[in-house]
Chain A
Amino acid sequence: DGGITQSPKYLFRKEGQNVTLSCEQNLNHDAMYWYRQDPGQGLRLIYYSQIVNDFQKGDIAEGYSVSREKKESFPLTVTSAQKNPTAFYLCASSVQGTGTASPFFGPGTRLTVL
């Protein structure tokens, strides 16, 4: 079955450590996205990529980094520069990065900083 895999489902990190969240899709989608979800704030875009080896910052990119070396993979690194990283992180993909292509979402990774 086609879909998006995010791992791990739960992740714990000590302050000052970098951590990488995995996102893999087998939908053959060109565009991929990372969103952050906090209670009462909806989803906010961190980074997006429309094509391999290219990505753009979203609204809250500070303290995060991404890579897009393969079409199927779009890992997100939460660095120690992110001041408040505890949140639910959602990866998504779409056929193309235009408005009519509704993104398909993965199950999410819940990150907790101890």
Chain B
Amino acid sequence: AQSVTQLGSHVSVSEGALVLLRCNYSSSVPPYLFWYVQYPNQGLQLLLKYTSAATLVKGINGFEAEFKKSETSFHLTKPSAHMSDAAEYFCAVSPPGANNLFFGTGTRLTVIP
């Protein structure tokens, strides 16, 4: 069965500091991986996705993530946090050939002025 683990349900960083949100997956075959962002009472917006091309994926709003097969990880980073980055972030996985996504439980990012 596919599963996604997001370490840390809440992460706080200072404005201008590095953002690191962790995501690990369990799969016997490298899946497709996604990061979404959700602002309060809104739907989810795609930040970036890995589909077996380059292992370092660049997304919107200055975010990027690196696929590491040996660590079964797909951590999300941003060099310098902005106040507008405060939101909930979801990692999701889709096994090759699957018809839907499996989501992690989310990480709420707080940015401290």
The residues of A with any CB-CB pair to B shorter than 8 Å are 4, 6, 31, 33, 35, 40-45, 48, 50, 56, 58, 88, 90, 92, 97-100, 102-108, 110
Contact = CB atoms under 8 A, between A and B. Distances in A.
Nearest to A4: B43
A41 B90 CA distance: 11
Please classify the interface of chain B as helix (H, G, I), strand (E, B), loop, or mixed, using the class held by over half of its residues: loop
B42 A108 contact: yes
A50 B45 CA distance: 21
* Candidate in A41, A90, A103, A104 with the most chain B CB atoms within 10 angstroms: A103
Contacts of A48: 99-100
22 contacts: A40-B105, A41-B105, A42-B90, A42-B103, A43-B90, A45-B100, A48-B100, A50-B99, A56-B99, A58-B100, A88-B41, A92-B43, A97-B100, A98-B97, A98-B98, A98-B99, A99-B98, A100-B94, A102-B49, A103-B101, A104-B46, A105-B36
